Structure 1
Amino acid sequence: MLKTAFAPMALLAFVAALPAAARDVLVRDQAGFAAAAASLEPGDTIVLADGEWRDFAIKLVGEGTATSPITLTAQHPGKVILTGRSSLAVGGTHLVVSNLVFRNGFASGDEVIATRVGKRWSENLRLTGIMIDSFSNPDRRFEDHWVALYGRNIRVDHSHFEGKANAGAMLVVVREGKMPLDNRVTLDHNYFGHRPVLGSNGGETIRIGTSTESMSDSHSIVEDNVFERCDGEVEIVSVKSGGNVIRRNLFLASQGSVVLRHGNGNLVERNVFLGQGLPHTGGVRVINERQIVRDNYMEGLGGVDFTSAITVMNGVPNSPINRYLPVRGAVIERNTIIDAARITLGAGASDERSQAPQSTRFADNLIVNRDGKSPFRAEASLAGIAFVGNVASADPKVEGVVVERREVKLERAANGLLYPVGATAGAPRDLQPIAREATGVAWYPKPAGTRVAFGSGATVEVATGPALAAAVANARDGDVIQLRPAQYLLAEPLVVRRTLTLRGHSATLRFSAPTLFQLEDGASLQLRDLKLSGSAAPRQPGNAVIRASAKPMLVNYTVDIEDCAFAEMAGAPGFDVIATVPATLAETIRIVDTRIADVSGAVLAGHSEKGKEGFYNAERVVFDGLDMARVATIADLFRGGTDESTYGPQFTMTDSSIADSGAVLLSGVQETTITGNRFVRSGGIRVTHSVGSPHTEIAHNSFTATPAPVIEELHYTGPARALLADNRVSQ
């Protein structure tokens, strides 16, 4: 009887001890998600129904197990679109989130995806099949992160990140004292797509840690990813911790480098860097102790200085943790470097960065430049670098660099890489650059190329001002508007939202509004064979022929002008040809073979960003073959702050005539070339160096009744950093 009476009670106790059956819950709205997420058990799956989920701040907290994780996924991969002010916060253990798309919006806070909820971080988490496309805060100066990883044992894989245009890294491994510092994050098989030039510090694609906790090891791995056109700033992957591995990644046409910025004992191996000859495409920059850079392949890298194919920095003796700890014990071996613009050793040497590399080995590397030039440059003593077994196609012509000079014949192998015939130095022959198709998600296309080219669309002929306004309003990307040789009077600004060309057989454009062309997000403007007159513009300060949007712009714009004439712009003060606006960036401003006369403002007013954050208004400015007379200011281009994380601004002026005009004012410009110009009764050139290692060349110019060029150094105390050559100054 005792057994009979006890049996049902024992059975009930046994059933209660069993885990609850896993649930698959399809939810169709935010309320449904909240209900499902309130009582999660190991093995449960929440499925978001296909469709658009707007302004959805997802919070998922759960405790799964290794064999029964808790999952959040889409009903069908790529069919759940999170828009508006949406975000995802995940906390707990053994969680999986997959197949979600963030598009047409921006984060509701400082992070699109954060692997913590409150103080609860994540462990044993997988994010897979995640798509974030252009999910950028509308103000490019606002800093946020697309993926912020808090915790440990986190994997992000087979995801696609493209088009971040505001400040802040695409993906960060967050290392804070109250959280695990031994992160063991793995980032693999992801596609990191176009990251446009930010025009300030804070444009990294990946950052692992910060200087604060950099002396401990993160043990994170970045492997088998593609980085394509990741141009945000000089650091593509910014390593600010120790014990990390960067391997088997493909860096394709990306400006910047893998930078071992803080932390010791990191490994960079078996990566492929293909720069396609583009400026600022770099390889690896070495700082701190016990860094290993080996078995990498680098071809066509156009970067110099901090974005050289290999950069070994000078350090700061007894450096504070956030500056530049000296290089000690680095190993740089078995790398192939082909057609690189520069290998820089002792980079950034200055009164502060005075400690040359020590106990460093540069061995068994292959350096071939098919133009016969050597890429080596030393900016400090090389006594602390041992050179062993290196093969080079050209004499380094740098004291202390030891190579075996050899004629090297290259053949392209089945893996697409070049290898020497017979030489044994350089990268291993079994490298296999990861294919774009092996990264990201299969259900979302990778970008096919850059923006639409000028002149690639249809041609529309217009004969009147109203017809011109309608044609601009209705234009598609790449269209060409052809003007007749007539007078066009515009009463309202022509608002440009696409890539657009205006051509005119000497047509004249006059405007009675404060602005003729107003560039909105997504615009680029090309002008050919036009006359532009400010005679009908209001008699008030601040007019401009071309002006960037008054609202922040995320898409960098281009202005390209050739064979045009600008005149009658002195009837009101401060009348500019091109006026920049804060929170906008011109990728290129190019003016060629153009006459500019009677302008009360500037040809380029590029001084609207005034803060110390380092934002600026134009990346690349080219003036070539201009005839300028009675122009108040030729160019006023400014970049503030002291951070060294940008490539620009870059300013070039060649073969131009300047008469009875003001000055060229350049402050914080990183690259300046002013050659072959003629200044008469004008304000001359004033260059202020404030940041980085600027390159300034002012040569072969004539200055008649014009002051000689003035170079001012705000912070640097070493010898002059400008090349002034063959300039003729006369009264």
Structure 2
Amino acid sequence: MFKLPLTKVSQRVFLLLLLACPLFSYAQVVNNIEQFNQAVKTLAPGDTLVMANGVWRDVELVFKGKGHKNKPIKLKAQTPGKVIISGQSNLSFSGEYLVVEGLVFKDGYTPTGEVIAFRTSLDDLANHSRLTNVVVDDFSHPERQLSDLWVAVYGKNNRIDHNTFVNKRNRGVTFAVRMNSEGSRKNNHIIEYNYFGPRQVLGANGGETLRIGTSHYSREYANTLVQYNYFDRTNGEHEIISNKSSGNTFRGNVFYEAQGTLTMRHGHYTRVENNYFLGNRKPNTGGIRIINEHQTVNNNYLYGLTGHRFRGALVIMNGVPNSPPNRYDPVIESTMNNNIVIDSDYIQLCAGADAERSAPPSSTEMQNNIIMGKHNLSPFTVFDDISGISFKGNVLNKDASNPIQSGFSSEPYSVRENQHGLRVPAQKLIDKIAFGEVKLPVTKAETGANFYPKQDRHVAFQSGQTLLVKAGTDTLVSALNRSQPGDTLVLENGGEYLLTRFANIQHPVTIMAKAGEKPIIRSEKPSFIVIENGGALEVENLWFDGAESPDYKGNSVIRTSRYSMNINYALSVRNVKVTDLNVNGFFYFFKAHPGTFADYIEILDSEMVNITGAILQLNKETDDLGVYSVENLTLSGNTFKDIKEEVATVYRGGTDESTFGPMVTVNNNRLINVGKGSTHRSGASMYFHGVQKLHIANTEWDNSAPLELYLTNGEPITLIEDIQLKNTPKIRANNTGYQLNNVTYK
């Protein structure tokens, strides 16, 4: 540790300052954790503790001090963005009038439950303090289901601004305001101008981006202000923001292509005003969900939102009579007024109505909203008694149907793009509700750390170089080891490829052959290909054959890592032939191990014959906590013949309502002698348990086991149409909550 030296030129100035100000402040530069800890003990109001540029690895930084309002104590990077905190590290700070700025957390994870904590012990909290220009980027625990918080705010009167939080990959809220002591309630925190960057689908509860409070303290007041933040594709779960306390305000925030909603899950007297939701017709994009009493949802702009039920553009929930704090308080004396909803599919009233949630809204208004949409002409869904909602002055386009008898006028669908690039209705309608100028309240560029670029790190298939791979033994393995993200490996038409070791996929890569005779791939290992953390695979015009495979129970052509993968993968299989996976009784085409998650899996235009296991085994998340293995599954244009187990077995157990998937599409397939193996446990040709959206069409079963469904919570949408069952039993299901159209039996 050393004091910043004074130059000779400035010595005379320094003496004058010293005489004038006996409390002269210093900046101290520290180079390691030992110097840091020693320096913290000496800090006085107005001092600055400077962390030297470089990588600080495996450090637990504890920053304490008592500054003054006009002389805060600062902890800052020597150069913003050049101090990298990595490994198993974290930061906690407590005291008064502290400022933390310019640090970057990456390439590691916290050894505790919090990366940045506004406290150093249960009783030592940070007040009147600021976190600014700080980055947390993929500082994620490698165990996907282990939970931690990136930022945990305690104390009172703190400001969190111009920070970047991007790529949280494990379970846990990205940013949480904690209220577990009196010293953290009625906190008056300000959270503003932060960039909440992409967060992948978690496939489980616990993927919120921002949470204020918890159900235990939900009737306490936080009085937190959340304004002018940018939520960019924050897709962890269906609650992007989970409000779980009272007296909070959300205004001027932008939600860009974010799957989920701003949810008033618990707490009362919440204000949601002048926020912009830009779904751009992306799947599961949602808006605002009202639960509880005295909620205000006014003057928000919602465009291109496709989410349904709890993920609708505007949602008013049913509640539980005399609800305990952790369930659903009924909606009472709330407003959903003066909002503009453009090309968004669903407005849900009394959502969640069931035997428990039996209390409809009361003394509530839905007035002066403009609703213009061309994609779904039946936007309103009413689940229960809406007599407690007052409808007045709303506008709906003429060609849309409406189950609500009064409080709406009809106008032609007329939407244009304004000078700010936003889709808007006629100006006379905007003026009528006094909405004001339709313009983003904050831009992406105005948020986040000013030194940290907002780069999209997604690597597309076939975006890199093309590598030609000669036939032979382990030539494919060698080529994979040389490949870079996005590369395409092109095999020789008709060539023979033998694998004597695992072909490990560690980044997005394509393995394919050009049109013509398929190259054949065999393996001497129990799995041909292993998708590791960070990997994604596309295969096209290949032939996988099991003739050289060892006699091991549980063989597979492709599988995920046996270890937890905190980066989502994708698997695309197109025009592929698979034969003779029959060396033992349980040989699978693809197996997903627990703790892994696919954004999508697709098998298209392929032929798979003589297989003793399943084609897709996606049923290993069996804790019944709403966890599952794949978000989107597509089977189209395939022939599956002589398959002893299922073509697909997909499992999502439990009753949790925090996630969207799985979503499954099965179209134009043939199943011949599928699911009739003597050791087959489910006795089904396809088994779908807890799938939230299932569409099966134009598919033929011949001499096969039945399709089996297990429909669970969440009002799953299950449509089966234009199918043919030849020498195949009828569909088995635990209830009749599915739609069946045009089924032919032979």
Range of TM-score over shorter length? over 0.9
Counterpart in the other structure of 1:415:
420
Counterpart in the other structure of 2:348:
344
Match of 1:501 among 500, 503, 510: 510
Counterpart in the other structure of 2:219:
215
| CA deviation profile, 1:318-355 (whole Å, cap 9, x unmatched) | 21111111111111111111110211111111111111
Map 1:404-553 → 2, pairs under 5 A = 404-421=409-426, 422-423=428-429, 424-425=431-432, 427-429=435-437, 431-447=439-455, 449=456, 451-465=458-472, 466-484=474-492, 485-504=494-513, 505=516, 506-553=518-565
2:686 pairs with 1:679: no
Contact 1:540/1:573, CA 8 A, preserved across alignment: no
| Whole-Å separation in 2 of the counterparts to 1:184 and 1:277 | 36
Match of 1:386 among 387, 390, 395: 390
Q: What is the SS of the residue equivalent to 1:151?
A: coil
| CA deviation profile, 1:584-617 (whole Å, cap 9, x unmatched) | 1011000011111111111110112111332211
Cα separation, partners in 2 of 1:567 and 1:401, compared to 1, 3 Å: farther
Map 1:13-28 → 2, pairs under 5 A = 20-28=23-31
Counterpart in the other structure of 1:6:
none
| Whole-Å separation in 2 of the counterparts to 1:729 and 1:306 | 37
Question: How far 1:433 sits from its partner (Å)?
Answer: 3.7
Counterpart in the other structure of 1:304:
308
Question: How far 1:285 sits from its partner (Å)?
Answer: 0.6
Counterpart in the other structure of 1:332:
336
| Whole-Å separation in 2 of the counterparts to 1:532 and 1:668 | 31
Contact 1:334/1:425, CA 8 A, preserved across alignment: no
Contact 2:342/2:424, CA 8 A, preserved across alignment: no
| Whole-Å separation in 1 of the counterparts to 2:605 and 2:205 | 34
| CA deviation profile, 1:388-436 (whole Å, cap 9, x unmatched) | 1111113333244642111142232222222322324564325434111
Match of 2:647 among 634, 642, 666: 634
Match of 2:590 among 574, 578, 603: 578
2:617 pairs with 1:610: no
Q: What is the SS of the residue equivalent to 1:179?
A: helix
Question: How far 1:45 sits from its partner (Å)?
Answer: 1.3
| Whole-Å separation in 1 of the counterparts to 2:209 and 2:296 | 21
**Paired AA for residue 421 in structure 2:** G
Q: What is the SS of the residue equivalent to 1:633?
A: coil
TM-score (norm 1): 0.94
* Gapped regions of structure 2 (runs ≥ 5): 1-17, 676-684
Q: What is the SS of the residue equivalent to 1:460?
A: strand
Counterpart in the other structure of 1:252:
256
**Paired AA for residue 632 in structure 2:** R
Question: How far 1:187 sits from its partner (Å)?
Answer: 0.8
Contact 2:660/2:692, CA 8 A, preserved across alignment: yes
Question: How far 1:249 sits from its partner (Å)?
Answer: 0.8
Counterpart in the other structure of 1:320:
324
Contact 2:67/2:96, CA 8 A, preserved across alignment: yes
Map 1:49-198 → 2, pairs under 5 A = 49-118=52-121, 119-198=123-202
**Paired AA for residue 284 in structure 1:** I
What's the RMSD between the two structures over aligned residues?
1.6
Counterpart in the other structure of 1:5:
none
Match of 1:644 among 657, 674, 695: 657
Counterpart in the other structure of 2:670:
657
Question: Which aligned segments of 4 or more residues in structure 1 are displaced greater than 4 angstroms?
Answer: none
| CA deviation profile, 1:136-169 (whole Å, cap 9, x unmatched) | 0001100000000111111110000000000001
| Whole-Å separation in 2 of the counterparts to 1:637 and 1:111 | 34
2:604 pairs with 1:600: no
Counterpart in the other structure of 2:295:
291
| Whole-Å separation in 2 of the counterparts to 1:19 and 1:391 | 67
User: Which stretch shows the higher mean deviation, 423-432 or 684-693?
Assistant: 423-432
| Whole-Å separation in 2 of the counterparts to 1:480 and 1:401 | 59
| Whole-Å separation in 1 of the counterparts to 2:175 and 2:569 | 25
User: Which stretch shows the higher mean deviation, 327-336 or 498-507?
Assistant: 498-507
User: Which stretch shows the higher mean deviation, 698-707 or 313-322?
Assistant: 698-707
| CA deviation profile, 1:159-214 (whole Å, cap 9, x unmatched) | 00000000001000001144331121111000000100001000000000001111
| Whole-Å separation in 2 of the counterparts to 1:729 and 1:202 | 44
Contact 2:269/2:293, CA 8 A, preserved across alignment: yes
Q: What is the SS of the residue equivalent to 2:674?
A: coil
Counterpart in the other structure of 2:5:
none
User: Which stretch shows the higher mean deviation, 704-713 or 594-603?
Assistant: 704-713
**Paired AA for residue 461 in structure 1:** L
User: Which stretch shows the higher mean deviation, 534-543 or 389-398?
Assistant: 389-398
Question: How far 1:385 sits from its partner (Å)?
Answer: 1.1
Q: What is the SS of the residue equivalent to 1:36?
A: helix
